């Protein structure tokens, strides 16, 4: 089979707070599992993302802290890089939108879209906060709702009556940044002619029948209503400068500029790899596929705006799939930075192992609906599933083999038992089935497929009872244990996209010295006579007191 070319694009985290487990489950973990699988298959994979350095919330946060946007960005970017490294998110490049390269690529795209007539200028009346000297996004204006009189409506919407508002309509408006009364000012901005792409997008999306229903239907809904042209520049000083004379004080707006990061990061990767043209294989080859992993809040940007930009620019591949996840809630409530309602990744990684969380998040991955994270469920899944089903399988087989067969893989005599042949066939079938699930980005199902094999292997062992057979029929026990070791080697590969660290250890425990991925996406046969090291448990059983300790951290001000 000829290798496929797979571009794995992952949402650009906003560099104003550290990452929490919900973001990991929404985009980074599924992307990583998907990329690791395709690499094991021998496919050509490029997985990129980076920190989104720009945008008003970063400047607001910098002011609140008495520091600079640059400092806020740098601190959180360093935190992201550290989290991904420790959590095993295997980016080929994790960069940022603060690079010279990114600014150049974004400006080039901006310029080319102007030349092609897809971007035009128009005047806009916006609210301006004279006290902080800044134009205000609608969300940063509060006031009295003109519909219901509620005092506390935001510039975009009234939470009391649900009306969609225009910030200019608010009575007694006040700036959330300074409490000043904002004043309307006229400013000239660039607009992306999204409306012109509406029908082209609709035809395209209708053909994407492999997309998740939530993503496709939602997008078709947007297109049915009709896209509006959007302003893509802002009166800010933090961001990528508008590359047009007379607009020196303005910046390209983040959502237009950040999605271009997928392309600029691919180019940066190619440059660093010493082959500056290497990105083209992922972006220009007709059979290359691009997958965009992210949370549901980012769907419109990846199914309408970014494709429209690509259509306008020309010559680059549109997304093949946008497997957006729903949200992971924390003990029933939406994750929130301000209320400290989240599992913060740097904290988690300081206190716990990586794979139990990767397992938990993959097992409840919110592929079709929101999923809930509780520490009780985390402990249960660790103890009942990782430790008891998979870890114990490895441990019982290896301790038994070590004790009775001189710490080497036993040599079976004669033809294998039908039950053993069936067991190995089950493992082989699981590679096909799990692979099919992963390629369809149904990762929960793929993990279940692998775990069903571990359960089956425990059943197989109980039926064959090698601990009894070893006293009466040594050849029978030898054959069973040799088979079980092959099953473990297979499971180590099957589970490795999900649990890279512990699968690496399992691989060593069955006497393998090479890299686990060199076996590819197949079961490796472990040769008779292979020496086995002293077995050590793959996972640690957790105490229930952990639940209380961790839950007490939720909602506390840190």
- Is residue 26 close enough to count as binding RNA by CB under 7 A? no
Binding segment toward RNA, per CB under 7 A, in 40-48, 341-349, 361-369, 515-523: 361-369
Question: Binders of RNA among 516-545, rule CB under 7 A?
Answer: 537-541
Residue 11: which of 258, 186, 191, 249 has the closest Cα?
A: 258
Please give the Cα distance from 445 to 181 (Å, whole number).
Answer: 54
Please give the Cα distance from 428 to 444 (Å, whole number).
Answer: 19
Q: Which 8-state DSSP code applies to residue 137? A: -
Annotate each residue in 2-21 with x if it binds RNA (CB under 7 A) or - if it does not, as one string.
Answer: ------------x-------
Least Å from the CB of residue 157 to RNA: 6
- Is residue 214 close enough to count as binding RNA by CB under 7 A? yes
Binding segment toward RNA, per CB under 7 A, in 30-38, 113-121, 225-233, 347-355: 225-233
Question: Binders of RNA among 42-71, rule CB under 7 A?
Answer: 52, 55-57
As a whole number of Å, the CA-based R_g of the chain is: 27
Least Å from the CB of residue 255 to RNA: 4
- Is residue 231 close enough to count as binding RNA by CB under 7 A? yes
Question: Binders of RNA among 157-176, rule CB under 7 A?
Answer: 157, 162, 164, 167
Residue 39 or 202: the one with the smaller Cβ distance to RNA is 202
- Is residue 254 close enough to count as binding RNA by CB under 7 A? yes
Question: Binders of RNA among 311-330, rule CB under 7 A?
Answer: 326-327
Please pick, from the candidates 129, 268, 385, 550, the single residue that binds RNA as defined by CB under 7 A. Answer: 385
- Is residue 79 close enough to count as binding RNA by CB under 7 A? no
- Is residue 338 close enough to count as binding RNA by CB under 7 A? no
Give me 129's structure tokens. 């906060």
Please pick, from the candidates 225, 287, 350, 534, the single residue that binds RNA as defined by CB under 7 A. Answer: 225
User: Of all helices (H) and strands (E), which one includes residue 456?
Assistant: helix 443-464
Question: Binders of RNA among 99-158, rule CB under 7 A?
Answer: 124, 126, 137-140, 155-157
Query: Dihedral sign, CA of 391, 397, 402, 403?
Result: positive
Residue 288 or 394: the one with the smaller Cβ distance to RNA is 394
Neighbouring C-beta atoms of residue 453, cutoff 10 Å: 26
CB-hemisphere CA count at 13 Å for 234?
A: 21
Least Å from the CB of residue 537 to RNA: 3
Please give the Cα distance from 201 to 73 (Å, whole number).
Answer: 34
Starting from the edge strand earliest in sequence, which strands make up the sheet with 230-231, in order? 134-135, 119-129, 183-192, 230-231
- Is residue 368 close enough to count as binding RNA by CB under 7 A? yes
Please pick, from the candidates 67, 70, 203, 217, the single residue that binds RNA as defined by CB under 7 A. Answer: 217
Residue 62: which of 16, 125, 129 has the closest Cα?
A: 16
- Is residue 495 close enough to count as binding RNA by CB under 7 A? no
- Contact between 83 and 18 (Cβ < 8 Å): yes
Binding segment toward RNA, per CB under 7 A, in 74-82, 277-285, 379-387, 472-480: 379-387
Please pick, from the candidates 44, 61, 176, 296, the single residue that binds RNA as defined by CB under 7 A. Answer: 296
Give me 63's structure tokens. 């002011």
User: Of all helices (H) and strands (E), which one includes residue 252?
Assistant: strand 251-252
Residue 279: which of 292, 303, 261, 293 has the closest Cα?
A: 261
Least Å from the CB of residue 287 to RNA: 27
- Is residue 291 close enough to count as binding RNA by CB under 7 A? no
Residue 327: which of 357, 292, 369 has the closest Cα?
A: 369
Please give the Cα distance from 82 to 76 (Å, whole number).
Answer: 10
Question: Binders of RNA among 450-489, rule CB under 7 A?
Answer: 455, 458-459, 461-462, 465, 467-468
User: What's the burial of 244, exposed, middle or buried (CB within 10 Å: 0-12/13-18/19+)?
Assistant: middle
Least Å from the CB of residue 278 to RNA: 27
């Amino acid at each position: 089979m000829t290798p496929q070319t797979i571009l794995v694009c992952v949402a650009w985290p906003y560099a104003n707070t550290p990452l929490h487990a919900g973001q990991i489950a929404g985009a980074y973990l599924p992307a990583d599992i998907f990329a690791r699988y395709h690499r094991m298959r021998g496919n050509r994979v490029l997985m990129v993302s980076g920190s989104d350095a720009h945008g008003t919330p970063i400047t607001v946060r910098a002011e609140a802290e008495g520091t600079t946007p640059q400092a806020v960005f740098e601190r959180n970017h360093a935190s992201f890089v550290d989290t991904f490294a420790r959590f095993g998110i295997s980016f080929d490049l994790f960069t940022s939108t603060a690079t010279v390269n990114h600014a150049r690529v974004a400006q080039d795209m901006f310029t080319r879209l102007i030349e092609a007539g897809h971007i035009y200028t128009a005047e806009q009346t916006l609210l301006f906060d004279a006290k902080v000297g800044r134009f205000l996004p609608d969300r940063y204006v509060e006031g009295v709702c003109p519909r219901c009189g509620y005092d506390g409506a935001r510039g975009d919407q009234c939470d009391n009556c649900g009306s969609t508002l225009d910030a200019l309509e608010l009575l007694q408006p006040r700036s959330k940044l300074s409490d000043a009364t904002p004043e309307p000012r006229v400013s000239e901005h660039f607009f992306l002619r999204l409306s012109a792409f509406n029908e082209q997008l609709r035809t395209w999306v209708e053909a994407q029948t492999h997309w998740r229903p939530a993503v496709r239907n939602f997008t078709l809904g947007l297109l049915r209503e009709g896209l509006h042209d959007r302003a893509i520049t802002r009166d800010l000083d933090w961001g990528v400068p508008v590359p047009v004379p007379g607009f020196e004080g303005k910046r390209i707006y983040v959502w237009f500029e950040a999605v271009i990061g997928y392309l600029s990061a691919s180019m940066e990767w190619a440059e660093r790899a010493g082959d500056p043209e290497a990105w083209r294989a992922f972006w220009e080859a007709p059979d290359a596929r691009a997958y965009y992993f992210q949370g549901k809040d980012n769907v419109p940007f990846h199914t309408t705006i970014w494709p429209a930009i690509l259509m306008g620019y020309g010559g680059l591949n549109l997304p093949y799939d946008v497997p957006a996840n729903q949200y992971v809630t924390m003990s029933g409530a939406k994750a929130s930075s301000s209320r400290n309602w989240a599992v913060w990744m740097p904290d988690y990684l300081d206190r716990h192992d990586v794979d139990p969380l990767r397992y938990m998040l993959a097992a409840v991955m919110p592929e079709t609906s929101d999923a809930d994270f509780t520490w009780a469920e985390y402990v249960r899944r660790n103890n009942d599933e990782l430790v008891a089903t998979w870890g114990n399988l490895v441990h019982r087989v290896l301790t038994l083999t070590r004790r009775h067969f001189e710490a080497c893989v036993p040599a079976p005599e004669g033809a294998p038992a039908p039950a053993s042949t069936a067991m190995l066939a089950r493992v082989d079938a699981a590679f096909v089935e799990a692979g099919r699930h992963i390629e369809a980005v149904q990762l929960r199902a793929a993990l279940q497929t692998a775990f069903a094999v571990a359960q089956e292997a425990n059943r197989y062992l109980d039926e064959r009872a090698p601990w009894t057979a070893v006293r009466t029929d040594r050849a029978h026990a030898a054959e069973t244990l040799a088979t079980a070791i092959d099953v473990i080697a297979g499971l180590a590969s099957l589970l490795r996209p999900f649990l890279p660290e512990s699968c690496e250890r399992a691989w060593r425990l069955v006497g393998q010295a090479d890299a686990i991925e060199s076996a590819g996406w197949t079961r490796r046969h472990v040769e008779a006579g292979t020496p086995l090291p002293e077995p050590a448990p793959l996972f640690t059983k957790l105490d229930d007191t952990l639940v209380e300790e961790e839950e007490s951290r939720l909602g506390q001000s840190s």
